[in-house]
Amino acid sequence: MGIQDIIEGKKQWRAHVARVKALPPDYQIVYKEMQKYLFKVGPIDLADGPLLSGIVDFFEEGAASGKGVLELIGEDVAAFCDDLIKDTPTYADAYQESISGKPGTTERH
């Protein structure tokens, strides 16, 4: 990874954060909780993948249509996040595979 890649990544992250800050306050609170949860659960491609920006897209559409954030995702933020990543490998999955030697031996509920 070169310096240009690092600079471009920072620009993209700042633009992403600006989009989050432009959301209504209730959306911002829920987004931050989702982000915290997802960083803890650890989908392998979270930092480089489209998940976080897709959530912002979804939230921008919901806010534009006048819906409350909980109308979009329901009351259980963790369950919503789990559903988003149900088919995505996580660091926990990779770790489990490394100690068991068997790919796909973990099951997330």
pLDDT tens profile 35-52: 999 988 878 777 777 899
| 1-98: CATH, from 1.10.1900.10, 3.40.50.2300, 1.20.1250.20, 3.20.19.10 | 1.10.1900.10
Q: Could you tell me the residue ranges of all domains in the chain?
A: 1-98
pLDDT score at 91: 81
Whether pLDDT at 86 is above 80 = yes
Whether pLDDT at 53 is above 60 = yes
Q: Which helix (H) or strand (E) holds 25?
A: helix 25-41
d(CA 73, CA 71): 6
Per-residue confidence band for 54, with pLDDT thresholds at 50, 70 and 90: very high
Mean pLDDT, the chain, integer:
87
pLDDT score at 107: 53
Contact partners, residue 32, CB within 8 Å, separation at least 6 = 20
- Buried-state track 84-101, b at ≥16 Cβ within 10 A, e below 16: bbeebbbeebeebeeeee
pLDDT tens, position by position, 4-20: 888 888 898 899 999 99
Whether pLDDT at 65 is above 70 = yes
